[in-house]
Amino acid sequence: MRITVFGGAGSVGSRVVAEALSRGHEVTAVVRDPARLHDLHAAADPRVGDARNGDDVAASSAGQDVVISATRPAPGRESELITATEALLAGLARTSVRLLVVGGAAGLIVPGAGGTTVIDDPLFQPPADFRALALACTAQLEVCRAESVVDWAYLSPAALLEPGERTGNYRLGTDELLVDSEGHSTISMEDLAVVLLDEAERPQHHRTRFTAAY
Ligand SMILES: NC(=O)c1ccc[n+]([C@@H]2O[C@H](COP(=O)([O-])OP(=O)(O)OC[C@H]3O[C@@H](n4cnc5c(N)ncnc54)[C@H](OP(=O)(O)O)[C@@H]3O)[C@@H](O)[C@H]2O)c1
């Protein structure tokens, strides 16, 4: 497959690029800052582009099968996540390219908590400086849900998403937070990349949110 990754030098994006390359895909990895080109995997096709820019989206997605968005704005600029998602959807609406969005866990429903979502549950509160990002991720999902042309899927990670090991194991869900027998909700970034590449290769989710955790 031909896959483009926006945020290709980021924590999640770089693992997605590595996982895709390890499976033999042709990967275009996009960074916003030319200074970060050297951070990209050497086997990826490097590009400079901003997901908020329609021309950059068009140039980086032409002829591709899937675009994976793993961008994260700087603190204080969280609304950029929404404009980037709008631009990606608008750019891909004239194509048949799928969009897989790495989103946030904030809007997932906590099991057994009467419908409370992660962002409102004291047990799962992100650090204070991540709250604005968590809210932006929730708004990002609404942007996707308003889209009816592009074949998109929005992946909400587990509540705790950190660098770790690639195990290849995970469980999938829809709108409810997946927790283990001790109530923890975790997945490594390496395994989140596995989830994304499995979805890219064997699409199961269309215009919907899904989640993954151990
Ligand atoms: N449990 C959770 O819900 C959870 C936990 C962690 C992460 N996440 C989500 O995972 C996603 C990726 O996070 P991360 O940890 O990988 O972030 P990261 O390490 O900060 O990487 C994000 C990358 O996106 C790039 N970027 C930002 N805005 C862009 C734009 N408009 N166009 C192109 N590239 C852009 C950044 O480039 P610059 O350096 O140029 O800004 C950066 O390289 C985010 O959506 C985040 O919310 C969710």
Which pLDDT score is estimated for 167?
98
In this predicted structure, the answer to whether residue 125 has a pLDDT above a threshold of 80 is no
Overall average pLDDT of the 163-173 stretch: 98
Q: 123 pLDDT band (50/70/90 cuts)?
A: confident
Protein residue with least CA distance to atom 13, ligand 1: 72
Q: What is the pTM of this model?
A: 0.97
User: Would you give the distance in Å from CA 125 to the centre of its chain?
Assistant: 20
C-alpha neighbours within 13 Å on the C-beta side of residue 102: 28
Question: Ligand 1: which of 30, 71, 137 to mutate, judged by most atoms within 8 Å of the beta carbon?
Answer: 71
Which pLDDT score is estimated for 188?
98
15-44 pLDDT, tens digit per residue, is 999 999 999 999 999 999 999 999 999 999
53-70 pLDDT, tens digit per residue, is 999 999 999 999 999 999
The pair phi, psi for residue 149, each rounded to 5°, is: -105, -50
Which pLDDT score is estimated for 128?
74
Q: 103 pLDDT band (50/70/90 cuts)?
A: very high
Alpha helices in 114-169 (DSSP H): 131-145
Ligand 1: atom nearest CA of 105 is 3
Ligand 1: atom nearest CA of 104 is 3
Which pLDDT score is estimated for 94?
85
Using the mean position of ligand 1's atoms as its centre, give its distance from the Cα of residue 96 in Å: 25
CA distances from residue 5 to 30, 34, 60, 106, 159 in whole angstroms, order as listed = 6, 15, 9, 23, 23
CA distances from residue 132 to 59, 78, 200 in whole angstroms, order as listed = 30, 7, 29
Q: 166 pLDDT band (50/70/90 cuts)?
A: very high
Using the mean position of ligand 1's atoms as its centre, give its distance from the Cα of residue 123 in Å: 24
Protein residue with least CA distance to atom 17, ligand 1: 72
Using the mean position of ligand 1's atoms as its centre, give its distance from the Cα of residue 48 in Å: 15
Overall average pLDDT of the 194-199 stretch: 98
- Partners of 69 in the β-ladder: 6, 101
Overall average pLDDT of the 112-136 stretch: 87
Ligand 1: atom nearest CA of 71 is 24
Overall average pLDDT of the 83-90 stretch: 97
In this predicted structure, the answer to whether residue 127 has a pLDDT above a threshold of 80 is no
Residues with CB under 6 A from ligand 1: 6-7, 9-13, 32-33, 50-52, 70-74, 80, 84, 102, 104-105, 133, 137, 157, 159, 161
